[in-house]
Every structure is written in structure tokens, then in C-alpha cells.
Structure 1
């Protein structure tokens, strides 16, 4: 039998291109000349598989052959059923697709590596640019903060001097006893001077806090005394608003405290409660010494009112700087009092929170501020404080 050949080929097939649809042809001759060529029957097998049934076909299409080496064997049988003992063997290779060939895969991998390197370089350049921009922004913010702090310091001192010059003569005129109308005008002027002076004091306190210059100057003594002084000092304000304000405590509280910082905390909370209470409202200041969570004693200060209360959506913002709860009626204030109070409480190593509503009356649900301050020397967090 003659060698197996590919279709449309006059030589032995060696390579077949993808997709591997290969048509193979074969021909044979009876060595004894007993069987014509057209009557010879053939059987074939591919890659040492099972032999096919004998038939007169002299070609075969092999579809979708995988790439790689293949072996086709063909044997012939004459009409007397004599089988050729030595099948014709043809080996051939199916060439893989371009994208599966080594050179193409290597090229693609090299290209991807190059693209990845370019992307990495671009990202690094971008990151460096962003870092440089961030550094510049931080420098700008630091400079702006320095300018802002300097401005607040300068403006506070500039306001303090004329306020002192105005307040002195006003106090002298009040002591001299003017007529009723003049006394009302002088009282109004004094209240506004005190209001501006308090704002200036708060701005100066903010500057000290931001620059780390404020310390808790703790001294041992009667903590109830400065709290009572604040309540007494604010009675005129409460009367003008037609609000009752009183202090409740079981017994005098003794411990370590900073009288100046404590007065600022108490005064800010009471003033806030009075301003937001309606006529005939009530402000209660409750003072007690209770056991602390980590041992020692804690000063418990509670200031509660019968005002309009604070909606839940505003409650967690009230200690933010310059934040003011939207009101239907205008209430005087700068929006820094409660923030300064929290800053002072944090400096002390204490905690403050607000609750609202606290009453069943829907018209006067009220608000309660709870402050806890350590009053044992070893529990006061300000390590840089001086102690008398």
C-alpha cells in the first residue's frame, strides 16, 4: 500500500495548520494482482486508537485535531480477506494557533510587563505629585492657622483694652446713682460690655487650648463654693428672662479642682440653659461627689432646664465649634460656648454629654447636661498642671 497523503498534496503530509481540520487520503495495490485497486477495503486508526471498520473509502476528514504530533495508520484487505500485516504509517503535526505559540505568548507577556511598568511609573509619578500637593496644602493650612490664631489674639487684645476703658466709667456712673431711665440705659450698656468681654475671653481660651498653653491649675478645697458663686452671679440674667435658677446639693463637695476652669464650665452651661428656657421656666443645678469608674471620687454636675429641648439629629452636633441648633426665634450666642465647655472638660480628663427630652411636657421637654470631673489629684489628666 502506498504512503498516506494529505488532500491536494503530492508528498507525505508533515504539518497541518490550525484549526486542525485535516483530510487524509490513501491508496493501495494488491501484490498478487487478484483484487483491483478500487475493490480494496481499508481500515484506519489515529493515535493508536481503535481500528475502524473496513470500507472502500480512500480518504477521511479529521476535524478539530488538537495541536501537537499525531500518527495515522492504514491497513488494506483484499476480496479474499487477506489483510496487509504491515499498516502504512504517517506521522504529522498540527501547528498550534498563533496565540498559543511560544513566540506569541512571550511577546504578549513582555508587552503586558511593559504596560504594567508604565502604569506603575505613572501611578508613582501621580502619587508623588499628590504627596507634594498635600504637603503644600498642609503648609498652607499651618500658615493660615498661624495667621488665624494671630488674628484672634490681636483682635482679642484690641477689644479688651477699649472694653476695660468703657466698663470702668460705666460702673462709676452706676455707683453714682443716675435717674431711672439713665440707670436702665447704663445697665443695658453694662450687659453688652460683659457679653463682648465674655466673647473675647472665650476667644483667648480657644487660642490657649489650640496652642497647648492651657493647664489645669488644681487646688484642694470646697468645690461647692465656685459653683454657688456662678449660680448667684447669674441670678440677674435669670430674672431678666423670668427663669428661676437654683443649686441643689446634699452636702459640700471637697476635692482638687481648678476654680477658674470650673466656673467657666458651670457658667457656660447655666447661661445656655437660661437662654433657651421660656418665661416661668426653671434651671436646676445639681452637684454631688460620686465614686469614679476607675476608683477615686468624681464630681457630678448636672444642669437641666425646661426649654424646648434638642432634636436627636442636632443632639450629637451641639458640642461642635460654631454649631447652633436652628431656632424659630433668634437666641443670642456665638456657637462656641458649648464647644469650649467640652474642650475644658476634656482637658480636665472628664466627660460631658447631653440628654433631651427629659420631661413629659411636649411643650417644655427640656435638656440635661451631665458633667463628670475627677477630683482626686492623681486622676486629673493634665500632667502639665501646677498644684497648690
Structure 2
């Protein structure tokens, strides 16, 4: 369950969401660039169309002027007619017929009247201008002056300019045969350009229409994008995610122990092949589990039989050691009594020396049998404990007094730091046995005139006893094994009467029975420190 929870926490973004985000990341920039390009093209296209429209208008006006010029330089218009109103007469060529008077309209006057009609329709405007106008109304503005100079100086055939409100387009007007009467002065000056025709087309409406078309295009593109994403998500969900979710669910069931879980995919593609492979794997797992359960049952049965046999043999060993320890103590007691008698009665120094050697070996054999007897009782759980509340510092001081004769032989100094009134519930005899054993090892492995430090320290709800020697230390790889039974330290020193390797194992068993712990720290070649931790009592 914890693994499933961790997996679900890691998958914070579903595949569908990742796919949608991926599609948006890909499509939106592409659409943005596409719309920008289309908007740029539409803007250029609208400008080009406006330019072509202005050219057509200008050509029509020029052709109209040409027709009027070909009609003897002008046309006569009844001055009372609407078409003659609002136009200043640059020339006074009039013709009176009966009750009507007709005014000669020059190409310039006709152009002005057409411009009025166009202005009223709000479609476009045009006007004539000249650097040396006959009619002051045809004086050029800044744009027209720039265009006329360009025609004269650069010999250009058109000049135009886009502004935020309108499009201005201008072409030169050249001398023709019919223009000699009005523009004779310019002809004498040797110029073929008599002025220019400016066409002004309002551009604001065109820009609004263009902007509207771009927004419509963007809206249509957005709708297409959303529809595309929706269709793709539906297809991905139906064709990919749904089969994957089914495989995920079956895999979860399989991981929880349901080996009957099978995927049923009918997509006729790679996912169906994957589902078939999953089913084959599930079948194989079920078959292997059945075989494994059979093998485990057989192995468990064999292990149970072997364990029972080992327990039986271990009990026999424990009983044998207990009996042997007990049986060996009786003759040793008799031998020890006899040696004591000989030691009192013999006077020859050589004989007494041999008697002392025998006594030392009997004492060593007695300790070995006692340790063996204690160890068998600890293993069998038959030892009788007598727990009482005792002062640990006082116990440490008594152990130091017990071991002082041995320390005097090797001129070893024992330093102690034992605060008063540190109590614990212990079996006094057994805990004394542990401390004697550890201190004996410290003395045994220390050099002459060495120093041993014993400290008793309160640590929270526990009491810690540390014994630090100045011996050769314990190799790092042996720090755990030294507490195992029958382990003998290999320090490289030639130590006599090294022991059978049961002292530390017994010490650990006794400390563990007190709900405590025992450990060791060592610096190879300089020292070892043993720690005993006991609950306060």
C-alpha cells in the first residue's frame, strides 16, 4: 500500500493533461506566427489593392480630361444647371444661346466638379495642383509639393503615401496639344509637366475592415484549434489512454497478489499486443507461484525437520555441557584440597614451585568450567536472577579492589570517575562477574605500567559504564564478532592463558538480561573502550 501511495504521489500530471499542454505548446505559437504572417499579408494586400484602385481612378480621370481636351479644350455647361454650381470660373468663355448661357468647363474645372461629387459620396477625393497654378485653389500642399518636385527632379511617374487616416496618390499631368491655350507660359519655360493629379482614398474604413477580417480569422483559427484539440484528446483517450488505464489497473491487481487479473484489449494494434504480453506474463507468474509454493512447502518441511534436529542436538549439547561442568567440579574440588594439603606440608622450595604452577592451572580450569556452566544455564534459560536496586558506583569500586592485586603485578594504574548515588536494578553477583571479566581483559591486554580508565556516567534515563585500556585494540572487522561465543581475539600479542572465548559472550547475555546493551569502540594499536548501558532504577 505504501508503494502504491508513493507511486500515486509521483504521478502528479496525467498523460491526458500532458498531451493537451503539449498540443497547446506546439499549436499556439504556430498559429500565432501564422496569423501574424496572414495579417501582414492582408495588410500588404489591402495596401496593394488601394494602390491599384487609386491608379484606376487616376487613369479614369486622366482619360476623362483627355476626352475634354480633345473636345476643343473644354465642354460647355449651362451655368444654371446643378453641374455648374460651386466651381469658380478660371476663364470667361461663355456662349449665349437664346435664354441660356453656357460656360466653358476646362479639364481642371471638370476635375474639380468630379471631386465634389466623389467627396459627397465619401468614397474618395481628388484634386489638381501645380507649382505655378493658374487658379490659386490649385496651390499644392506639402505632400503635393513633394510629389511635384519628385516628378520634375527624379522623373518619377507616381508618388504615394499611406497615413493612419488616408492613402494619398499622385501622378504627373503632362502637356498636350489642347493645354497650350491655358498653359502656354509653362510650355515656353520648357517643362512638359503642367501639374499633378492627387487621389485621396480614406484608409480608416479599410483598416477597420482588415482588422475585423483578422479577428474573424483568429476566431475561426481558435475554434479550429479547440475542435482539433478536443478531437485529438478524444482519440487519445479512446485509443491510447483507456487501454493503458486498463493495463495499469490490471497491473495493480497483479501487484496486490491477484494473479487471475487479465487484460482484455481489442484495439488491433501494438496495445493489444502489449495486453497479450501482459496476460502471458500473468500466466507465467501464476505458474511460477504454484511451483514456488510447492518448493517453499517442501523446503519449509525440510527446514522444520532440520531445525527440530538442531534443537534436539543443541539441547543434548547443553545438557552434556551442564552435566560435564557439574561432574568436573567434584574431582577438581578434591584435587584442590589435596594441593592445599601438600602446600602446607611440603617444605622443599622446588616442590612448592610446582605446587604453585598446579594451583594456577587448577584455578584456570575452575574458571573455564564455571564459565561453561554459566553459559549453558544462560542458553537454556535456567539461570536464577536476583534483581535488587544497587549503587553502580559502589559496585565499580568493589570490582577495582578485587582486581587490584593483579594490577600490581603489571604495575597498571586504574583511574576511576564514579559519581555517587547512581542506582540500577541489577543482579549484583552477575553484574560483578561482567565487570570483573571486562577489567580482567583490559589488564590482560595492556602493557606494563599502562593506564586503565573506568567512568560511570548518567545518560538520560540510563547509566553508562566505560572501561578504556591501552592495549593493541580490536580490528574493525572483529568489533561485532568478539561478543560471539568461543571467539578468541587475535591481537598479535603473545598472551598466555588467553581463554576459551566465552567471557564476552556471557557478559553480553547478562547485560541483555538486564535490558541493557554492551558495545566496543577501538583504535587499532592504541586502545579499546567497552561500554555497558543499564536502565536507571
Q: TM-score range by the shorter chain?
A: 0.5 to 0.7
Aligned match for 2:442, one of 273, 284, 302:
273
Q: Does the Cα contact within 8 Å between 2:415 and 2:451 map onto a contact in 1?
A: no
- What secondary structure, in the 3-state scheme, does the structure 1 residue paired with 2:481 have? coil
* Cross-structure match for 1:352: 518
Q: Does the Cα contact within 8 Å between 2:445 and 2:471 map onto a contact in 1?
A: yes
- What secondary structure, in the 3-state scheme, does the structure 1 residue paired with 2:447 have? coil
The aligned runs of 1:209-288 (5 Å cut-off) are 209-240=378-409, 242-246=410-414, 248-253=416-421, 255=423, 256-286=425-455, 288=456
Question: Structure 1, unaligned stretches of length 5 or more?
Answer: 1-99, 101-108, 377-388
Name the structure where helix makes up a greater proportion of residues.
2
Q: Does the Cα contact within 8 Å between 2:472 and 2:491 map onto a contact in 1?
A: no
- What secondary structure, in the 3-state scheme, does the structure 1 residue paired with 2:383 have? coil
Aligned match for 2:475, one of 300, 311, 324:
311
The higher-RCO structure (CA 8 Å, 6+ apart) is 1
* Cross-structure match for 2:527: 366
What is the CA distance between 1:160 and its match in structure 2?
Answer: 1.2
Q: Which has the higher Rg, Structure 1 or Structure 2? A: 2
What is the CA distance between 1:145 and its match in structure 2?
Answer: 0.9
* Cross-structure match for 1:320: 484
Aligned length: 261
* Cross-structure match for 1:301: 465
The aligned runs of 1:1-388 (5 Å cut-off) are 122-174=291-343, 178-240=347-409, 242-246=410-414, 248-253=416-421, 255=423, 256-286=425-455, 288=456, 290-294=457-461, 298-331=462-495, 332-357=498-523, 365-376=526-537
TM-score for the superposition, normalised by structure 1:
0.58
* Cross-structure match for 2:31: none
What is the CA distance between 1:151 and its match in structure 2?
Answer: 1.4
What is the CA distance between 1:232 and its match in structure 2?
Answer: 3.0
Root mean square deviation, CA, Å: 3.3
Cα distance change, pair 343–114 in 1 and its aligned pair in 2 (3 A): closer
- Inter-partner Cα distance in structure 2 for 1:110 and 1:216: 62
Question: Structure 2, unaligned stretches of length 5 or more?
Answer: 1-268, 270-277
Structure 1 range deviating more: 326-335 or 131-140: 326-335
Structure 1 range deviating more: 209-218 or 256-265: 209-218
- What secondary structure, in the 3-state scheme, does the structure 1 residue paired with 2:314 have? helix
What is the CA distance between 1:222 and its match in structure 2?
Answer: 4.4
Residue by residue over 1:232-259, the C-alpha shift from the partner in whole angstroms, topping out at 9 and shown as x without a partner, is 333343344x241435244544634322
Cα distance change, pair 244–182 in 1 and its aligned pair in 2 (3 A): farther
Residue by residue over 1:51-102, the C-alpha shift from the partner in whole angstroms, topping out at 9 and shown as x without a partner, is xxxxxxxxxxxxxxxxxxxxxxxxxxxxxxxxxxxxxxxxxxxxxxxxx9xx
Cα distance change, pair 249–210 in 1 and its aligned pair in 2 (3 A): same
- Inter-partner Cα distance in structure 2 for 1:141 and 1:330: 37
Q: Does the Cα contact within 8 Å between 2:322 and 2:377 map onto a contact in 1?
A: no
Residue by residue over 1:100-133, the C-alpha shift from the partner in whole angstroms, topping out at 9 and shown as x without a partner, is 9xxxxxxxx9999998876555444323221221
- Inter-partner Cα distance in structure 1 for 2:286 and 2:390: 71
